[in-house]
Amino acid sequence: MAPIRTAKNNQTAAIDAKQGKLSAFGFKRVSAKEGPGESPSSPVEAQVVALCEPKTSSCVEATLQARTAAASADQQAQKVEAVINRPAAPETEALQQKKLPKPVQVGFKEARFQDDRNGCWDDKYYLQIGTSTRKITFQYSFVMSDKHIDDILALGPRVTGKLTEFIFISEDRDYDAHNGMDGVTDSGFLRLAKACPNLRKVKLQDTSGITDIGHLAFLQWCPKLTSFEMLGCQFSGYCFDQIRRHNEWAPKLKKLRIDSINNKDKDFKVLREMSRARPTLAIDLVRRGEEKKHGSWYLDEDHTTYKNGREQGGW
């Protein structure tokens, strides 16, 4: 006698399907006693289990860290913008207390200072810098601080408002070198930029310790700027992005010289975007080192130029 085939299982599956039960599609109920280590019986069930499992602690921690970093970056950006955008304040108490000869001297068209020691600055700066001064140059054996900037600002807008060039050269690398801008802060650069709106050329070398505030100060507050160099402190991606966004900052800028950036660094991508936004701007990425010759140390420097997002070459 032939075996009688029943459709019990098929009928059960059909009923389950009509009722919308998952068992009709190969899923089975897992009891609370079954551990999470048991392997699913089918690939489809494995996908459902994976989707239903809570996120691991490492994923949660990574998400929280990313959010914290983003919030910190936003707070830093807001802090920088608040400081830079603050209107120029009246003379500080320190400036008001300075006693200088009146009337202000005529001075030289180009005032040069080679040393800050032995009274070379304190006894002479107000005689050389005056109403006819357009360019101030510091070089060789000069160590600048905020004090020197405040001395210049104390001469008043009749002097600072006419300045077109501010140059600080740091090239001495010998054993007894006395040269640099270690004593200048973001606040000092910001005060100088706000007091000298007619600056066209700014060259600042060996500016260690300067942050985004000092980097952007001259670009925002000196609209006639055509050449800007700041070496010794790394520009950030935030700075490049702000320069890209604000075409009204130093619209006549033709030359920007800054410390070199690794072309694999994330900030380098932002730099190229900024370069494309300002196609007429030539950007020199400068590499500085030291070379020993004849028993003394000398400065060794080269650079690579970018324009409109493309490398132009170096020397």
Q: What are the pLDDT digits (tens) for 71-122?
A: 555 665 665 666 566 665 555 444 555 556 567 899 999 999 998 888 889 9
pLDDT in tens, 140-157: 889 999 999 999 999 999
Q: What percent of the chain has pLDDT over 90?
A: 51
pLDDT at 303: 93
What mean pLDDT is predicted for residues 244-270? Answer: 94
Q: At 283, is the secondary structure helix, strand, or coil?
A: strand
SS (H, E, C) the chain: CCCCCCCHHHHHHHHHHHCCCHHHHCCCCCCCCCCCCCCCCCHHHHHHHHHHCCCCHHHHHHHHHHHHHHHHHHHHHHHHHHHHCCCCCCCCHHHHCCCCCCCCCCCCCEEEEEECCCCCCCCCHHHHCCCCCCEEEEEEECEEEHHHHHHHHCCCHHHHCCCCEEEECCCCCCCCCCCEEEECCHHHHHHHHHHCCCCCEEEECCCCCCCHHHHHHHHHHCCCCCEEEECCCCCCHHHHHHHHHCCCCCCCCCEEEEECCCCCCHHHHHHHHHHHHCCCCEEEEEEEEEEEECCEEEEEEEEEEEECCEEEEEC
Write down all domains in the chain, each with its CATH number in brackets.
96-314 (3.80.10.10)
- Contact criterion met (CB below 8 Å) for 139 and 110: no
- pLDDT at site 277: 97
> Quick one: pLDDT band at residue 314, thresholds 50, 70, 90?
very low
Rounded Cα distance, 130 and 134, in Å: 9
State the Cα–Cα distance between residues 245 and 117, nearest whole angstrom: 43
